Amino acid sequence: MDSPQDVLLASEGLRVGVDDVRRSSTLICAPIMAESVDKMVVDMGNAKALGADLVEIRLDHLKSFNCSEHLKILIKESPLPTLITYRPKWEGGQYDGDEKYRLDALRLAMELGADYIDVELQVAHAFIDSIYGKKPEKFKVIVSSHNYQETPSVEALGNLVARIQATGADIVKIATSALDITDVARIFHITVHSQVPTIGLVMGERGLISRILCAKFGGYLTFGTLDSGIVSAPGQPTMKDILHLYNFRQIGTDTKVFGIIGKPVSHSKSPILHNKAFKSVGFNGVYVHLLVDDIANFLRTYSSVDFAGFSITIPHKEAALKCCDEVDPVAKAIGAINCIIRRPTDGKLFGFNTDYVGAISAIEDGLKGSHNNGSSTVSPLAGRLFVVIGAGGAGKALAYGAKQKGARIAIANRTYDRARELADTIGGDALSLADLDNFHPEDGMILANTTSIGMQPKVDETPISKHALGSYSLVFDAVYTPKMTRLLKEAKEAGATVVSGLEMFIGQAYEQFERFSGLPAPKELFRKVMDGSL
């Protein structure tokens, strides 16, 4: 059996030449789950307008269902090809009635002109036998298996595919659950090697990449919802995100994969930024959210050179450094990285830190303000007391960056020992977060929050009380969701200059984009995207 880390190397055979503009033929299906037939008809029209290729009509969601009358309407009125699903409760659906009635409805859907029906593996043999010789030429039977507990081994999945094929299925559908993002590699292995059309999806946030990268790894279709939150299975993205955030139609077997590794990660705006930038410069890449628990395991599993680069965020910035074959000297001194590039020739991993560049530049610009004469070679940070909240990867980066510019450093952290450790390494003072409110050795200090305190959804939190902010001339917050945190609002009210984490985010993203693509960053586009004007 293939080991997980070998799984994606096999996909290399699928790659096509750079001059080949062919892209994935993976279809986008919109689940239609309204409680009335009339609303389903409206939703099918919406699905077409949004760009779906077909609709999945979920009969089990209807509150009232007259089989012959309603099926005729739904199939006739659909502006798109139809997939009819009547999912029973024992397979995760809503239907809890007579089994014969359910299967009769699926047979009737076939007779009335449905393009596909989905039938569960448990009943597929008997069902397919019952329609033998009666199938219309273009009609396809999808035989599905759902595992709401886990994703089995590659060997077990291979056996499952064989069992589904043995029923006479036209299309194999396997949906599993992600306990870890590396589970998805096993599904990619199956879709890449399957001899029949296969839908392979992994449910939950850790399985999100299965729904996007199926376009690269040979999946027959993916599901995109009409509205966020209304999903037919956990972790489904919206049609809008599939098409316009991830540029799904442009993903092909030769598309390079990039992503943001973090935990949590769904709040990150990096995919919006990089995917729009990739598209604007014609770079064949896709950038995805990667909810990662164990970064070493992730990098071992997704070892193909097609997984070409990653941004790293909380809490993996220090652990990621240890996974690299080579680390930029500046990043090594900081002890944390926020960017990994995989060298295409041999797959070796190179680590960088672009955090401190973006943050320090933004803080310097804030200090210069309207007095910026541009000619001074001395940083406005020189000689200033620079207080960093947090002793993690971002804290180290800012402390190191400010020290390089001639600032004096103090580190405040919830755990005093970690603050002391960093302060000793870099040459500075240490204090606990609780002591920060009464820390006032001088006026005109600079404060930089590098923790996630105040980040959505906990927007009411702040690392320091308002009364203590009067001692600072500038306050920077690495959090950028929301753009104006409670810390920044209160600092502004206290008379300090404030610098949003958005400035750091844009600055570090410039350099990452250039390392990912080898092209100049479209800086104006980045700003427009982050301002929400694009």
Residues recognised as catalytic: 146, 173, 317, 355
Residues 6+ apart with CB under 8 A from 377: none
Task: Give me 515's structure tokens.
Answer: 């390392």
Please state the separation of Cα 338 from the chain's center in Å. Answer: 16
Q: How far is it, in rounded angstroms, from Cα 127 to Cα 139?
A: 14
Task: Give me 396's structure tokens.
Answer: 């180290």
Using alpha carbons only, how large is the chain's radius of gyration in Å? 27
Q: How many residues does the chain have?
A: 534
Q: How far is it, in rounded angstroms, from Cα 315 to Cα 263?
A: 6
Residue 457 near residue 267, CB atoms below 8 Å? no
Q: How far is it, in rounded angstroms, from Cα 370 to Cα 263?
A: 39
Q: How far is it, in rounded angstroms, from Cα 225 to Cα 228?
A: 7
Q: How far is it, in rounded angstroms, from Cα 401 to Cα 355?
A: 9
Q: How far is it, in rounded angstroms, from Cα 396 to Cα 418?
A: 11
- Which residues partner with 140 through β-bridges? 116
Where would I find the beta strands (DSSP E) of 71-170?
Answer: 82-85, 116-120, 140-146
Whose CA is closest to 506, among 488, 484, 529, 487? 529
Q: How far is it, in rounded angstroms, from Cα 154 to Cα 2?
A: 7
DSSP state of 115: S
Please state the separation of Cα 525 from the chain's center in Å. Answer: 21
Burial category of 112 from C-beta neighbours within 10 Å (exposed 0-12, middle 13-18, buried 19 and up) = middle
Please provide the DSSP assignment of 434-471 as one string: GGGGG--SSSSEEEEE-S-TT-TT-TT--SS-GGGGGG
Residue 26 near residue 215, CB atoms below 8 Å? yes
Determine the 3-state secondary structure of 24 from DSSP. Answer: coil
